[in-house]
Chain A
C-alpha cells in the first residue's frame, strides 16, 4: 500500500521535503539517491583509510603511506587492484547464486541510508516507520551472505555462512530491544523525529542501550571480536573465500557499507544525529559517524575473537536479559514522565543502573568462559 502511494502520488508518507528545492518529489528522489550513493561510496573509502591507518598506528607500524599524501589514495589503489583481478568462479559453484550473492548483500546496505537524516529533513524518505524499516532491511544482507556461502560450494564458505546466519538471528533480538528504549523516549519511529526529539543525546538517557546496540551491531556486521564469520585464522575468509575480482570488491564494499550504516544508526539514535553547535549539520553527522567507526577499529585491534558457542551465549545470556531490563526500566521512566520533567534524575539513575548491571551481571551471572553450549 505504502509503495503504491509512494509511486502514485509521491506524497503521503514524506513529511519534510526541503521547501526551497523546485520540482518536488521526483527532484528530491533523484537528488538524494545520488547523495546516498555518493555518501556511501566516499564514506567507505574514508573508513577504509581510517581503519588501515588507525590500525597501523595502534599496531606500532605506519600503515599505508605510499599512495598519495599520507596514503590517502590507498582505497583508490585497492579498488583499482581488485577491478583488474581475474574473476574466478569455482567449477562446482552454483553459478547463478554465486553471481547474485554480492548484489543481494549490497542492496540492503545501501537501502538503509534511505532513512538516515543528514540534516533536518534531508533524507531520501522520511518514513514514519524508519527504524522498523532499517531492522527489516538489514537482515536481508544475511540472505546474500548465505547465498555466497552456499553457492561457492566450498566448505569454509559454508561454515562461515552458517555462523553468520546463527549470529544474525541471535543478535537481532538484543539489537531491536535496545532500539525500543530509544523509540519509547522519542515517541516516534521516524529517524528524523528521533533526532529532533534529542534535546540531549540519547546516549545520556540510554547508556545501557547504547552499549547493547554497539555490541549487537558489531556482531551483526562481523566486526571484531565477533568476526568469526570471516575469521581469517580459522576458516580463511568465511563466506567470500571463493570470490575474486569485482565480486570480492562488492563484498568488501558491503562489509564497510554495513559498518558505516551501523555507525550512522548509532549516531542517529544515540548521539544526536546531525545536531551540534557551530558546524553545519551534515558535517556533524559525518564526524560522529567517523568517531563511532573509530571505536569499532579500536575494539578490532584490541580484542581476540570469541568462539561460536560463546558468541551465542553472549547474546542469549548477557545481552538479551540486559536489554529486557533496560527496556523495563526505560518504560517505567517514560510512564512516570521522566524524559521531559526529570531529565537529570533519569541520566543519573540510568548511568548508575548501567554500571551496576554490567558489573553485577558480568561477575555473577555470566562469564564468557562459563560452560559450553552446543551449536
Chain B
C-alpha cells in the first residue's frame, strides 16, 4: 500500500540559526525532501544606494563598510576604485601595496568565517567555527592597528588610504604570516579527510559550470565548479598584475569542493601578502585629493574580486559633490540565483549546507 503524503510549507527564517542573518526561505517540503524554495529577502534593507546619492564621495565610504560587514576593507576598495576611475585620481605606489596587503588579509578573514560557518551548518558544534575565529581575531588585531576599528574599518580613501601603516604593523604581520600556514595545515589535518564531512558534502548541491556561468555566479562558488575566472588575474586592478599567484579550481562543484576552494584561496592570499610585504616601497600613502571631490560628468564601474565574488560599484557623476547614482553589484545576491536549482530534491539538512556553502552576507543582499 502506498502511503499518501502531501507537501507542506516551512518558513525558514528570517530568524533561524543558519540563515546567516535575516534571510528567509519559504521551503516546500515533502517529508524531509525539499520540493521547492522561494528566497525572501529585504529584512535588512537600509537604502544604502539611495543614501549614497545625498552624501559626499568621501562620506559614502562608511556606508560601504556596512554592506558585507565581514569584509569591509574589500568594499572600501571597490568603491575607491570606482571613484578614482571617475575622477581620474592616481594612487601612490605605497598606498597600492597597503591596499593589496589589507584586502588580502580581509579575504583570509572573510573566508575563515565562510568555512567556519559552513562547518557549523554541517553540525560540527562550533568547534571549527571558534578555531577559525581565533585566527580571524589576529587579523582583526592587525586591522585595529591600522584603522582603530575592529569591524567597520573605513580605512581606504579615494586616492590612497587614510593613514600610513604604524611602525609595529609589518613585524606583527610577519608574525602572523609565519603562524598562519601552520594553522591552515592543522585545519586540513582535522577536516579534509573527515568521513562525516565527506559523506555530508561530497556530491551534494552540484552546480554545473554552464549553469554557474548562466547565473553569472562569481567568486569561489564559480571556481569550485571548474571555471577559471578571477578578476585579479583576468582583469587586473590595482597592482595585482605584479604578483605571482595561482587561481585554484575544483572539478565537481559540490559543497565539499566549495569548502576546499576557499581553503586553497586562503593559501594563495598568503602568497600574495608574502610578495607584497617584500616589495612594499616607502613614500606617500595618499594622493593630493581635495576634500570635496567634483568628478567630471560621466560614469565609472569599479570592480574587485571580493571573498564572495565580483563586487562592483557603478557610479554616475553630474559634477556635484555627491554621485547622481550609485549602484552596487553584490556578489551574495547574484550567487543566490542558482540556489533554487541546487537544492531541489535534496533533504532539509542538505538545504542548510548548500545554502551555507554559497556563503552570503545579508547586509550585502539587502543593501
A233 — which chain B residues lie within 8 A by C-beta? 17-18, 120-123, 352
B198 and A369 within 8 A (CB): yes
Question: Complex: how many Å from CA A227 to CA B123?
Answer: 9
For residue A362, which residue of chain B has the nearest CB? B195
Query: Closest CB of chain A to B113's CB: distance in Å?
Result: 15
9 smallest CB-CB distances across A and B, nearest first, come from: A305-B123, A368-B199, A369-B199, A304-B122, A304-B124, A233-B18, A59-B130, A307-B349, A304-B196
Check B55 for interface membership: any CB of A closer than 8 A: no
A304 and B202 within 8 A (CB): no
Contact of A309 among B18, B196, B347 (CB under 8 A): B347
Contact of A232 among B8, B17, B199 (CB under 8 A): B17
A301 and B127 within 8 A (CB): yes
0/1 interface trace, chain A 140-157, chain B, CB 8 Å (1 if under): 000000000000000110
0/1 interface trace, chain B 174-205, chain A, CB 8 Å (1 if under): 00000000000000000000111111101100
B122 — which chain A residues lie within 8 A by C-beta? 233, 304-305
Query: Closest CB of chain A to B327's CB: distance in Å?
Result: 34
0/1 interface trace, chain A 317-355, chain B, CB 8 Å (1 if under): 000000000000000000000000000000000000000
B127 and A59 within 8 A (CB): yes
Question: Complex: how many Å from CA A248 to CA B158?
Answer: 54
Q: Please indicate which of the listed interface residues A61, A234, A300, A308 has the most CB atoms of chain B within 10 Å of its own CB.
A: A234
A residues whose Cβ falls under 8 Å from a Cβ of B: 55, 58-61, 155-156, 159, 162-163, 224-225, 227-228, 231-236, 300-310, 367-369, 375
Contact of B348 among A60, A61, A227, A234 (CB under 8 A): A234
Query: Closest CB of chain B to A231's CB: distance in Å?
Result: 6
Query: Given A233-B18, A233-B352, A367–B199 Cβ distance below 8 Å?
Result: yes
Check B360 for interface membership: any CB of A closer than 8 A: no
Query: Closest CB of chain A to B351's CB: distance in Å?
Result: 8
Check B65 for interface membership: any CB of A closer than 8 A: no
B203 and A307 within 8 A (CB): no
B196 — which chain A residues lie within 8 A by C-beta? 225, 303-306, 368
A227 — which chain B residues lie within 8 A by C-beta? 123
Contact of B349 among A155, A231, A302, A367 (CB under 8 A): A231
0/1 interface trace, chain B 118-134, chain A, CB 8 Å (1 if under): 01111111110011001
Which residues B1-22 have CB closer than 8 A to chain A? 8, 10, 16-18
For residue A302, which residue of chain B has the nearest CB? B127
Show 12 A/B contacts (Cβ-Cβ < 8 Å), sorted by A.
A61-B130, A155-B8, A156-B10, A159-B348, A162-B31, A163-B32, A302-B124, A304-B196, A368-B195, A368-B196, A369-B202, A375-B31
B131 and A60 within 8 A (CB): yes
